[in-house]
Amino acid sequence: MKKIKVAVAGLGRIGKIHLTNLCQNFPELEVVAVMDIINESKSIADQFMIPKFEKNFDDLLAVPGLDAVIICSPTDTHADYVIKAAKAGKQIFCEKPLDLSLEQVAKTLDVVEQSGVKLMLGFNRRFDPNFLKIKSMVDAGQVGDPQILKITSRDPGPPPISYIKVSGGLFMDMAIHDFDMARYIMNKEVVEVYSRSAVLVDPAIGDAGDIDTALTTLTFEDGTMANIDNSRKAVYGYDQRLEVFGSKGMVKADNNFPDNHQHYSADGIHGSLPLNFFLERYTTSYLNEMAAFFKSIRTGEDLAVSGKDGLEAMKIALAALKSVKENRPVLVYEVS
């Protein structure tokens, strides 16, 4: 079978995860090139013996025989790179979010559609074994009619201020995963968003124009609801829990831990902290999402996460931001 030739753009936190997975777990692929604007990333290319290291995205696309590109560069490059890759006829996996402007996302999705290539967005949590199990149980009716979804999504610590400045802010950068998860688990669209937010972790985040703490209530088209709790800093590690309550019961997923030991002593009962951050906690999901992307390329099957999913999650994030600014519930169609 002919190997699919792949390239990765952006070798930061997430780019390194995807590159490592592609090189170590997918013998049916060949990573033919990588790209980053900084020279330091060349050592990563060398480590994996990637034949080409480019510093310009156009040069990356010009690598002979390239079939697919994995875009892991900062958010403000995504739309531009996706448009270029689509026009060059490459299959595209792009990290979330696609852009910070709905107009730009709509334009980008148009170009992708006209080009006839596939575009999958990096909503990796859909591929996490805990959440996949909950999704399958909800779909099978095991909690009856879902009524309340609760998502706890707290990072162990904030990213650098330089990252925050180009990230689009907590709703667009971090909670967007939770907004996607809410649509995915509940299988329906959100119509109203009510968010409250604060800067409680680091005043520098406020100075950069962002927030670090938020509570959001989503109301779906049939009146069911979701509650999402976000913080940029949980001192005990990455806190990723989800619960669906319905007419026949409740299903929930707790955090993942490096081990399940419990130490009983005169002071109390102690165990390990949750897996520390996305690299450790979502290892399997990153592998699964790549497998799903390449399976879809091979078989022509629909993608598990579409550009439209990216657009809908982004509308919720924009509505959350508007809700905070205007201190009121916001209908999603107000930002559409």
Binding site for ligand NAD (CB under 6 A): 9-15, 35-38, 41, 72-75, 77, 95-96, 122, 124, 163, 173, 278
Instruction: Return the number of the residue (35 or 112) whose C-beta is nearest ligand NAD.
Output: 35
Which of 44/251 has CB closer to ligand NAD? 44
Class of residue 256 by CB neighbours under 10 A (exposed 0-12, middle 13-18, buried 19+) = middle
Residue 14 CB, nearest approach to ligand NAD (Å)? 4
Give least dist CB 96 to ligand NAD, A.
6
As a whole number of Å, the end-to-end CA separation of the chain is: 44
Question: Which phi and psi angles does 105 have, rounded to 5°?
Answer: -65, -45
Q: Which residues contact 102 (CB under 8 A, 6 or more apart)?
A: 311, 314, 315, 318, 335, 336
* CA distances from residue 195 to 83, 321, 328 in whole angstroms, order as listed: 32, 8, 8
Give the residue with the Cβ less far from ligand NAD, 251 or 320: 320
Bond from prior residue into 97 cis (ω within 30 degrees of 0) = yes
Best CA proximity match to 228, nearest among 212, 239, 214:
214
Q: For residues 121 and 131, give the distance between their C-alpha atoms in angstroms, rounded to a whole number.
A: 17
Least Å distance between CB 138 and ligand NAD?
22
Taking the least distance from each CB to ligand NAD, the nearer of 312 and 334 is: 312
Residue whose C-beta lies closest to ligand NAD: 12
Closest to 145 in 3D by CA, of 77, 223, 205? 223
Of 59 and 221, CB closest to ligand NAD: 59
Instruction: Read off the tokens for 241.
Output: 């829990």
In the complex, what is the shortest distance from the CB of residue 8 to ligand NAD, in angstroms, rounded to a whole number? 10
What's the min distance (Å) between Cβ of 100 and ligand NAD?
Answer: 10
Residue 141 beta carbon to ligand NAD: minimum distance, rounded to whole angstroms: 30
